[in-house]
A and B are shown apart, each in its own frame.
Chain A
């Protein structure tokens, strides 16, 4: 129950999940995303469970009115009863605690827990807590299974004594260690109710052994009315009311689907106990007896007491305790002490098994969910019953399971197996750890716990197989893409480690592999067990480990690599055991038939001796190996074919690409041509423009030249004009001179005329004429002065005329 002591803060502080387990750094983010989903799922399932439990309770009330009455008196639907052992020898008094929790809403009172743990600390008292009564119906149902299982086991022990050396060894062990066997045997061997007479002689604390035996008897319909303990009243009643050997539980299917959906966290500890049938397993005070022995031996530390836990296990446990969920906040000093006590108690309880690595994790997990003694009995149920023969010295059943699983994988995932064979990966390399650890530390915790829910409910290892197959189903497609063994295993490990979608995993497991049933597995186990046993026997006989030339299991592991040896074996075997071979050949020519194992059992049984079985199996094995070898070859062929196809595919793709590129190139070329044409046109235009320009230039030059010529002409004209002007001025000067001369002449003439007046009449006439011309010249002169210097051609011409005139005048004058 350590889990309830966790404070939220400590969880968040160093990236741990809701159960207090460390998260890998790369998973922290994913976990956070999923934690919302987990929360929603949790709410949903706790509602479902609440309804279910109420419903079941009602129906069970109808069945047994007496019980219903009792519960009314209790006035509470659920009740947790705690008892402290030294105080009360008798079982669960209803008045003992009154620590009731309402319904399924299960909020545990932290104070109570605190008190609880304080109590434990103070007095080192272990508490045994009954589960809430609303779950008792489930518990009853499961208890039937436990008892039935016990009877079966007893029979098995008697029949198979030789096959299970570890079991046989434990029978012959020290007396005190045989409590469990006593339990088992007493019911099988004692036919009379006399066994119950020991009931009240509780001095040695083992009266409960008998009690349990009694229960089993009662179930068989033997002893109806003796009630041994008050605490187990429901179970007893169900039995005593003349219940049939296999009672019908109408809600079992409903419960199953609920379990597939997961058990609510707050109910989990108790539900698990109910599933494992702890109540039916529990022998009162047994755990404390074991612990008491333990303290005795620790007092005499170094003595290797025969009744104590052997030193090597004690050492191993000590080594492993700090390495069990290291850093988990609940595994403090006290938590570790609980873990140590539990493991040592188990080693004492089952000395032939003792302690096996992996058990530390299971015990640690259970201690997180329930009180120590409850955890112990749950643990005992899991290891002794569910995983019987798994963790023993030879680990026979776990080896058998690996062979069985490999066969199932070959059946279900032929493609994946071919690829793994091709890479040289053996399935057992990674599934071995999965199975042995029941997925603890292999997949995320939420998923581990959901798998455990189903596994514990089903009461066998079917879920182990289904989950492993589901993981391969989920991740097989990715695995097929890997290129070497290391990559494949690394990938699978990391994918499995990030299986946060626990619902998907559980549903895939439960719905996808319905064909995997306990009966089927048992058949397959029976088929493979002889091979493992043969190897183990040989090993113990010779004191050697795995003799490759003879060890069957080892050959099954390595057959792929030395086919020649196998073939040789095959031929020699056929030579020496003609009879069997021919007999068997007819029976199992078909490989599929052999694999399904239907025909095998009867034949195995019909064989007279184990040795013959071994020989026969060897032959069969060789045949299977041959088949496998050809299958491998075929796989290789397919692989190469596939590669070629892939290559072809590539080629096709490439040619398509080339075509496309060519098209593009053509387009580009076209564009280029267009462009060049355009360019040519442009050039033409440009040239034309250039010519134009030239023409214009020429025109301009011409124009300029013309302008220059005109300027020249203007210049010339100007010069002419200037000359003309200068000559004009000269002429004017001359004119002036002439005028002055004329005036002078005139003055002279007038002077003369005065003198010559009368005589000369005719001349006067002539003189007047002369005077007329002169006055005209003077008048013109005046007029010319006023007209200024205009350059008109008429003017330019004028000077010549006056000149002429003056010339005429001068002529005239000169005359």
Chain B
């Protein structure tokens, strides 16, 4: 490529960089791009929440997630901004936590999911909250989600517990059901509303 003649000088090149996804939220004020990571114990329904949100489907016998899987979905807000969620759905088993930093690093949003019928999964959720408070981006938006709300007769984690814990940690809390699609869209819309909007000038330069 004979492009040497038109090479810009080094100092200006940094500004020309387009989608630097340091915070996963770099984009213009009207079209946000957001890296979102789902964390939580195995089998709480992380993949089901994503599938419900992105494809509108629910499969009671979904596959085990190995490592992580990726899906993206764009929603439009009332103020005519669009938000493109780049969703990393991680594996739930404890030992995969070793790989989690790979996915939550640089994420603008972390959705921590537990199963309202399983106190263990609620404990696990608290572990993830602590880990993210320590090692996530400082301005990360945290959401605590109690899934499987349709199984209320088997409930073992009271709503109040979730609300209190979320309040204490400055998180957004919601109970959802991927099975009935209850609150799934609301979850992502609420998250979108809470995102820090980029300033008008989006230049970031060392």
Contacts and interface: CB of A to CB of B under 8 A. Distances in A.
B86 interface: yes
Given A323-B61, A393-B95, A636 B101 contact: no
Nearest to A426: B102
Interface in A475-529: 483-487, 489-490, 493
Contacts, number: 161
B158 to A, nearest CB: 23
Given A486-B72, A640-B8, A394 B95 contact: yes
Contact of B102 (A440, A441, A557, A636): A557
B19 A433 contact: no
A358 to B, nearest CB: 4
B200 interface: no
Interface string B48-85: 00000000000101111111111110000000000010
B206 A433 contact: no
A557 B64 contact: no
B61 A441 contact: no
Q: Which of A327, A358, A440, A639 has the most CB of B within 10 A?
A: A358
A748 interface: no
A316 B93 CA distance: 8
B64 A637 contact: no
A490 B72 contact: yes
A327 B33 CA distance: 36
B98 to A, nearest CB: 5
B3 A554 contact: no
Contact of B105 (A435, A441, A484, A558): A558
Contacts of B19: 422-424, 483-485
A633 B10 contact: yes
Contacts of A536: 98
A724 interface: no
B199 interface: no
Contacts of A807: none
Interface in A549-564: 554, 557-558, 561, 563-564
A433 B3 contact: no
Nearest to B20: A424
A437 B16 CA distance: 39
Contacts of A633: 10, 13-14
B117 to A, nearest CB: 13
Contacts of A564: 206
Nearest to B94: A312
A430 B70 contact: yes
Contacts of B96: 357, 395
Contacts of B86: 485-486, 489
Contacts of A638: 1, 3
B70 A429 contact: yes
Contact of B7 (A356, A422, A637): A637
A637 B13 contact: yes
Interface string A44-85: 000000000000000000000000000000000000000000
Nearest to A643: B16
A687 interface: no
Interface size for chain B: under 10, 10 to 19, 20 to 34, or 35 or more residues? 35 or more
B131 A395 contact: no
Interface in A428-474: 428-430, 432-437, 440-441
A270 B105 CA distance: 44
B67 to A, nearest CB: 3
B70 A489 contact: yes
Contacts of A648: 6
Contacts of B8: 637, 640-641
Contacts of B134: 544-545
B40 interface: no
A633 to B, nearest CB: 6
Given A430-B70, A633-B13, A641-B6, A395 B84 contact: no
Nearest to B101: A546
B102 A322 contact: no
B106 interface: yes
B99 interface: yes
A756 interface: no
B91 interface: yes
B135 interface: yes
Q: Which of B4, B18, B98 has the most CB of A within 10 A?
A: B98
B21 interface: yes
A664 interface: no
Contacts of B185: none
16 contacts: A319-B42, A323-B62, A324-B64, A357-B96, A360-B64, A392-B95, A395-B95, A486-B86, A554-B101, A557-B102, A561-B22, A633-B14, A636-B16, A641-B3, A641-B6, A641-B7
A-B pairs, 10 with minimum CB distance: A433-B67, A424-B21, A326-B61, A641-B3, A486-B86, A486-B72, A437-B66, A358-B66, A357-B93, A323-B64
